[in-house]
Amino acid sequence: MALKYISNSGDKVITTREISDSKNIPYDLLSKIMQTMKNENILSSNQGSSGGYSLSKRPDEIPLYNLISAIDGNVNIAECLKESPVKDCSMTDNCSIKSPVMLLQKEVEDLFKRKTISDFV
């Protein structure tokens, strides 16, 4: 919703406060999410009194996949598919359904890579 808001605001720099007020999203929470998106290069920021955020790229150049990875850390259908699984499954090495699961993972990834922020504005 925040990215949509920014997308629809032309080239203006947008403050967290403005989005928070306009969409009734708790300021502190949104603030954290904006920071995360900044750190993951989805947003650019300007500090200071007339600062704020803007998209780092055009909406159609930001895959949904990137946004979700940025915020959730990954886009995986199963824990065992994460790059660094918190808890590795005791049977990862001889999992009998590993390859079809990985195929499905790939298909989900592709879907989320085809979608971009412009599909949500």
* Residues contributing to the site for DNA (CB under 7 A): 14-17, 26, 28-29, 31-32, 34-35, 38-39, 45-53, 72-73, 86-87
Instruction: Tell which positions 18-37 bind a copy of itself, by CB under 8 A.
Output: 23-25
Both structure tokens of 105: 């993972």
Residue carrying the six token digits 């920071």 = 35
Cβ contacts of 38 within 8 Å, gap of 6 or more: 44, 45, 53
What is the C-alpha separation between 16 and 31, in angstroms, rounded? 6
Pairing between strand 43-46 and 52-55? antiparallel
Instruction: Tell which positions 54-113 bind a copy of itself, by CB under 8 A.
Output: 64, 90-91, 95-97, 100-101, 104, 107-108, 111
Contacts with a copy of itself by CB under 8 A lie at: 1, 4-5, 23-25, 64, 90-91, 95-97, 100-101, 104, 107-108, 111, 115, 119-120
